[in-house]
Amino acid sequence: MIGQSPAPNPPGRAAFRSGRSQTDGPAVSVGPAHIPPCAGPSAYAAPPPCRVEGRPAGPAILCAVSTSRNQDLERAPARRDARRSGPQRPGRVLFVLVVLVGFSAAVFALITWQVVADGPLLRTDRAVGRVLLHPDRVSALLADLGNAQVAVPVLVAVGGYTAWRGRAAGAGRWWLVPLAAAVPMALLPALVVPLKAWTARPGTAVMPPGTGYFPSGHAATAAVAYGAAALVLLTWLRTAAARRTVVALFAALVSGASFGLVRRGYHWPLDVVASWCLAVVLLSALWLLISGLPPRGPRPRPPRASPAPAAPDR
């Protein structure tokens, strides 16, 4: 009404505008009146100075703590996303791979030396082989998993499938990974055949007289073919369940073929173990080759040119 003085502002609103409460004492200088004190960095173009007039630096410390807490909350999702999508520490993976390859090479060298020298390790090998020897239909079927007529077509089928998927997705150099998977399989005969001729190890009691049973070519074929197929498939799988399924299937095929070879009497146990060691070296080299290839993905397309603006009507 005319003649009446305007009503005073409520205490809370006045305290908010001045940046203090009624019991806070002197005002805190924090910038514009509509921004509360100690706001996060998103409220300013730059973090404001926290100055206290006539009082100790308590509010400034609170402001710094609040600002630091806001920054930590903003960085937390980024750190969490980086942990989910970042590299899986390639240095540690490479170290584990080097240790695995070195151990496999050492075991292979030890077994080969024992075979050539007819060392004491062969006595244990023969004893274990006689215990496991039990030729039957099941062991013969399991041993057939190491035949080249069975294992190599699996690798070819997986390579063709991944090549088709890569080409359909528009991936650059889609043929590199399937081609790389064929390299260990091509090198395998060049390694196994000379070793068989050099070691000249005789076979088990159920095999005809002869030599050339070390290392097991069937066990090496199964491990390299199924292992290379698994590595190629893993480059396309994104879920942990699918990856575990492929790894479990690979382990089952190789274990079944190896057990069938020993159970049927085609090879001694150390013949199979030496083939595993050889396969570890070849598959590790394949993994390094695949991981060093350009990342799989569609080729980048040039941006489309935007249409020229129409001339204004006159």
DSSP string, 120-165: THHHHHHHHHHHH----HHHHHHHGGGSHHHHHHHHHHHHHHHHHH
Confidence of residue 299 (pLDDT cuts 50, 70, 90): very low
Containing structural domain, residue 72: 11-77
Share of the chain above pLDDT 70, in %: 64
The type of residue at 160 is G
The answer to whether position 307 is within a domain reads no
Q: For residue 19, is pLDDT > 50?
A: no
Looking at the structure of the chain, the number of domains it has is 2
Calpha distance 264→135 (Å, rounded) = 4
The CA-CA-CA angle for residues 148, 290, 174, to 5°, reads 85
Query: 41 and 71 in contact (C-beta within 8 Å)?
Result: yes
The answer to whether position 2 is within a domain reads no
Calpha distance 216→258 (Å, rounded) = 9
Q: For residue 79, is pLDDT > 90?
A: no
The answer to whether position 260 is within a domain reads yes
Residue 72: per-residue pLDDT:
53
Q: What distances in angstroms separate CA 193 from CA 105, 143, 198, one per listed residue? A: 18, 19, 9
Q: Which residue has the higher pLDDT, 67 or 222?
A: 222
Encode pLDDT of 252-276 as tens digits: 999 999 999 999 999 999 999 999 9
Query: 222 and 260 in contact (C-beta within 8 Å)?
Result: no
Q: For residue 302, is pLDDT > 70?
A: no
Q: For residue 83, is pLDDT > 80?
A: no
**Structure tokens of 137?**
């239909």
Query: 215 and 270 in contact (C-beta within 8 Å)?
Result: no
Q: Is residue 47 domain-shared with residue 119, that is, in the same domain?
A: no
Encode pLDDT of 174-232 as tens digits: 888 889 999 999 999 999 999 999 999 999 989 988 899 999 999 999 999 999 999 99
Q: Is residue 133 domain-shared with residue 17, that is, in the same domain?
A: no
Q: Which residue has the higher pLDDT, 235 or 24?
A: 235
259-293 core/surface letters (b: 16 or more CB in 10 A; e: else): bbbbbbbbbbbbbbbbbbbbbbbbbbbbbebbeee
Q: Is residue 65 domain-shared with residue 150, that is, in the same domain?
A: no
The type of residue at 20 is R
Encode pLDDT of 128-173 as tens digits: 999 999 999 999 999 999 999 999 999 999 999 988 988 887 777 7
The answer to whether position 308 is within a domain reads no
Query: 144 and 260 in contact (C-beta within 8 Å)?
Result: yes
Last residue of a domain, one of 55, 77, 99: 77
